[in-house]
Amino acid sequence: ADLAAGGALWFPDLTSPDPTWILPICLGLTNLLIVEVFSLQRVNPSRFQKVVTNSIRVFSVLMIPIAATVPSSMALYWFTSSLVGFSHNIVLRSPAIHKFLKLQTVRSESPYRDLLSAFISKYCK
């Protein structure tokens, strides 16, 4: 009973699927964004890495219709979990975080600029 009246915004009933497909599409896009951030780190990926990356891309797209059929509460959980994972990936790129956590990995001093330039060179040619 609490889930049926506990939604927000466009999904007031968490027990029914999202009729607008906003949550499923956001979930799919967030998962694709995570995959692309990881793929941009690879300079010369092996054939196996390319196959795995493309498989995960396909799975991310397939998650959209799957998330559209489950209750909104499940799609909201998956979307929130993906956002937290993406946030962790972005925050852990920061040189300030590496210094604060005393991580011994060699990182660029401008990781976000490097990520943006890799994205532009890969997709905006």
Task: Place 7 in a pLDDT band, splitting at 50, 70 and 90.
Answer: low
Collapse the DSSP code of 76 into the 3-class scheme (helix H, G, I; strand E, B; otherwise coil) and give the result: helix
> 122: burial class by Cβ within 10 Å (0-12, 13-18, 19+)?
exposed
Average pLDDT, the chain: 82
Question: pTM here?
Answer: 0.74
Distance CA 125, CA 117 (A): 11
pLDDT tens-digit series, residues 46-86: 899 889 989 999 999 999 999 999 988 888 889 999 999 99
Tokens of 48: 């196996």
Indicate whether 6 pLDDT > 60. Answer: no
